[in-house]
Chain A
Amino acid sequence: MSDVPSPRRAPRVLRDWLPGTPREAADAVVGNLLLHALPAHATKAALSYRASGWLGTACAVLFGITGVTGTILLVLYVPSVERAYASVKDLETVVPFGSWLRGTHRAAAHLMVVAVVLHLVRVFLTGAYKREGPPGAARPLNWLVGLALLLLTLGLSFTGYLLPWDQLAYWAVQVGTRIAASVPLVGDATREALLGGSVIGQPTLARFYALHCFILPSLTMGLIFWHLWRIRKDGGLAVSDRVAADAVARARAQPPPAGRTYAILGATKGGTVASVAPSALLAPESVASVPNAPRRAAAVALVCLALTCVFGLAAAAPLEQAADPSRTPNPAKAPWYFLWLQELVSDLTFKVGGFVVDGTLLGGIVVPGLLVGLLAAWPWLDRSPREAAGVWFHPARKVQNRVFLAGLLVIALLTVVGTFCRGPYWGFVWPWDPVPTTPTRL
C-alpha cells in the first residue's frame, strides 16, 4: 500500500461518500454497492434542483418513511375484524408516540401521492419521456414504469384505508369495490376476489392486509429499482442530452487548435470535432457524482423526513367510530385524492332520452382508464422535435402542455368541489353557507 496521506482525507468508513480526490470519487462509484447506481460524472444541470426538483428522490424517500413507520405499525396492529379498531385505538391512546407514528405514516403516504403527481407533472412539462434520446435510451418505457408506480401509490393508499376498520374505512371499501363491480363481465368476480366473499368481512380485511403490507410494497420496491436502473440506461436525465448537444454545437462552432487535446484522447479521425464523444466536451459542465449526488439526495431525504414528522404531529391521523355496516356517515367522503373520482361518479349519471348513462362505470372506470391510457400512449403521440426533451415549457410542446395542465386543473377543481362544496347527502353547498340540517329535496 502506497497511501500518500492527503490533508483532505476522510475517515476510512466515509471515504466512499466523501472522496478527497477525483480518483477516489471514481473508485467509489465502481466499488460501492449503493453508489454503483450512479454514473462517474453527472452534468451540473442534471444535479440541479431546477431541472427535476429531485421529486423522484423525494418519492422514494417518502416510500422509505412509510416502510419504516409501517414496519412498526405492522407489529402493533391486529388484522382481525374484532380487534383491528381497538388496536388502532391503542396506538392513539396507549402506545408511546403511537399517535405521532400513525400520523407520520399517513403524512408520508399523503405526501407521496403529492410527490408522485408532481414528479409526473415535471416529467411531462419538461418532455423528459420523449422517444428521441441518446443511443440505447428507452425513456417511454421508464414513463410506463412511472405510471405503474403512480397506480401502485394510489393502490397502497386505498388498501391502507381499510385497515383501521372505522366508518371511513368500511364505506370507502364498500363504494370502491362496488365501482370495481360495475365493470362488465369481470366486475363481479373482481369484487368477490377483493372481498373474499360477497360482503365485507374478515376475509376482506385479511386480503387488504396482505395487499397493503406485502404484495403492493414488494411490487413498488421492484419497480422503483427498475425505474432507477432505467435512468442510467437512458443516459441520465433528459436535461443532460440538451447540455451535451449544446457542448457539441459549441465545439463545432469553435474548433479547437488542431492536434492538441483531442488528438491525445485519440477520439478524432480526420480532425472533425463531431466525432468526439460529448462526455469529453462536457468537462466544464459536469462534476463527479460522488459526493455531489448523495449529498443532494441526503438533503432531500432530510427535508422529506422533517416535513412528514411535522405534518404527522400537526395533523394526527383521524379515527372515526368503529365500522358500522348499517349506518353510513353523512356525507361519506373519500380521501382527498379520490374525491375527484367521487365527483365524477356522482355527476356523470344523466339521462339522454330514455337511456341512462351509468356514472359508476363512466366516472369510476372509463374516464380514469382513458386518462391512464392516454398518458401511457403520450410518448408515441408527442411529435415535437428532440430538442424539446429536458426543457421546461419548450415552445414546440406549448399545445400539449396546455392540454395537460387543463386536465390537471379540471381534476383539481373537482377535488376542491368535493372537499369544500359537498354537504349532507352529497348536496352542493358553498363553503361559507351553514350546513343544512335537512337537505332540500333534490
Chain B
Amino acid sequence: MSDAGTPPTRRSVLAVAAGSCACLGALGPLGAFGAGLVPRVRYEPPLRRKVGRPSEVAEGLTFRADLGVFLVRKETSFRALSAVCTHLGCTVSQEGEGFHCPCHGSAFAADGRNVAGPAPRPLPWRPLSLAADGALIVDLGAEVGPEAVLTVTEGA
C-alpha cells in the first residue's frame, strides 16, 4: 500500500492485486466445504402415504396420528383434513364440532376454516386416491378443496 500523496509503485500495485486474489481464492474452499451443509439426500418420510383399506376407516371423523390427518368418512365418500396447524405447525385436536390448536390458541371449523386465533389459513384438505391393491393413499404434499371427495363403492 502506498501512503496518501505518494504515487503507487508497480510493486505495491502487484502486491495488493496478488493479496486480493489470494483472499478471494481462500473463499473457494470455504464455499466448497460449506456446500456440504446443504443435504443432497433427504431421509424423510414420503409425502404420499398409505392409509389402509377403505373398509378399515370408521364412519365419521378419525384422527390418524401417524399421518397427521383427520379422515372423514360419510358412507362411501372419503376425505382427509390436515391436522397440522397452519400457524406454526402444532397438531390440532378435535374439540366439539371443530379443531383447536394447543400452541397459540387457533381454532378451526369442521370444514377446516380458521375461525379464531393467529392461524393465517384454513386447514388444508389432502387428496385421497386408491392404490392398485385397493388401499387408500393420502398425498400430504398436495391440497384440494373441501368439496373434493373420493367415492369408493367396492370393498368399502
A-B contact count (CB 8 A): 99
Verify if A198 is at the interface (C-beta below 8 Å from B): yes
Stretch at the interface among B51-59, B72-80, B82-90: B82-90
Complex CA distance for A303 and B65, rounded to whole angstroms: 48
**Which of B45, B65, B115, B117 touches A346 (beta carbons < 8 Å)?**
B117
Verify if B126 is at the interface (C-beta below 8 Å from A): no
Complex CA distance for A199 and B83, rounded to whole angstroms: 16
Closest residue of A by beta carbon distance from B116: A442
Verify if A358 is at the interface (C-beta below 8 Å from B): yes
Verify if A441 is at the interface (C-beta below 8 Å from B): yes
Verify if B42 is at the interface (C-beta below 8 Å from A): yes
Q: B105, A345: Cβ atoms under 8 Å?
A: no
Verify if B39 is at the interface (C-beta below 8 Å from A): yes
Q: B104, A439: Cβ atoms under 8 Å?
A: no
Q: A197, B39: Cβ atoms under 8 Å?
A: yes
Stretch at the interface among A17-25, A101-109, A308-316, A327-335: A327-335
Q: B105, A442: Cβ atoms under 8 Å?
A: yes
Closest residue of A by beta carbon distance from B87: A360
Residues in chain B near residue A327, CB distance under 8 A: 65, 91
**Which of B39, B96, B102, B118 touches A349 (beta carbons < 8 Å)?**
B118
Chain B proximity of A357: nearest CB distance (Å): 10
Residues in chain B near residue A268, CB distance under 8 A: none
| Given A330-B93, A426-B102, A442-B100: A203 touches B68 (CB 8 Å cut-off) | no
Residues in chain A near residue B104, CB distance under 8 A: 342, 345-346, 426
Complex CA distance for A325 and B140, rounded to whole angstroms: 15
Complex CA distance for A175 and B116, rounded to whole angstroms: 18
**Which of B39, B98, B103 touches A175 (beta carbons < 8 Å)?**
B103
Residues in chain B near residue A201, CB distance under 8 A: 43-44
Q: A331, B102: Cβ atoms under 8 Å?
A: yes
Verify if B120 is at the interface (C-beta below 8 Å from A): yes
Which residues 159-189 of A sit at the B interface, judged by CB distance below 8 A?
171, 174-175, 178-179
Q: B90, A196: Cβ atoms under 8 Å?
A: no
Verify if A202 is at the interface (C-beta below 8 Å from B): yes
Residues in chain A near residue B68, CB distance under 8 A: 325-326
Q: A424, B89: Cβ atoms under 8 Å?
A: no
**Which of A325, A329, A345, A356 touches B88 (beta carbons < 8 Å)?**
A345
Residues in chain B near residue A438, CB distance under 8 A: 95-96
Verify if A427 is at the interface (C-beta below 8 Å from B): yes
Q: B89, A174: Cβ atoms under 8 Å?
A: yes
Q: A328, B91: Cβ atoms under 8 Å?
A: yes
Contact with B along A422-440 (1 / 0, CB 8 A): 0011110000000000110
Number of contacting residues on A, CB 8 A?
39
Complex CA distance for A356 and B42, rounded to whole angstroms: 35
Interface of B is mostly: loop
| Given A331-B103, A356-B120, A442-B105: A178 touches B44 (CB 8 Å cut-off) | no
Verify if B149 is at the interface (C-beta below 8 Å from A): no
Residues in chain A near residue B120, CB distance under 8 A: 349, 356, 358, 360
| Most chain A CB neighbours (cut-off 10 Å) among B39, B42, B105 | B105
**Which of B65, B89, B96, B118 touches A345 (beta carbons < 8 Å)?**
B118
Q: A359, B66: Cβ atoms under 8 Å?
A: no
Q: B91, A425: Cβ atoms under 8 Å?
A: no
Verify if B22 is at the interface (C-beta below 8 Å from A): no
Complex CA distance for A193 and B37, rounded to whole angstroms: 8
Complex CA distance for A346 and B119, rounded to whole angstroms: 9
Q: A175, B95: Cβ atoms under 8 Å?
A: no
Closest residue of B by beta carbon distance from A363: B118
Q: A425, B102: Cβ atoms under 8 Å?
A: yes
Contact with A along B102-128 (1 / 0, CB 8 A): 111101000000011110100000000
Chain B proximity of A241: nearest CB distance (Å): 35
| Given A175-B90, A199-B45: A328 touches B118 (CB 8 Å cut-off) | no
Verify if B136 is at the interface (C-beta below 8 Å from A): no
Residues in chain B near residue A349, CB distance under 8 A: 117-118, 120
Closest residue of B by beta carbon distance from A428: B105
Contact with B along A335-368 (1 / 0, CB 8 A): 0000000100110110000001011100000000
**New contact pairs (5) apart from A326-B65, A332-B90, CB-CB < 8 Å:** A332-B103, A342-B103, A442-B107, A442-B115, A442-B117
Q: Chain A residues in contact with chain B, CB under 8 A? A: 171, 174-175, 178-179, 193, 196-199, 201-203, 324-332, 342, 345-346, 348-349, 356, 358-360, 424-427, 438-439, 441-442
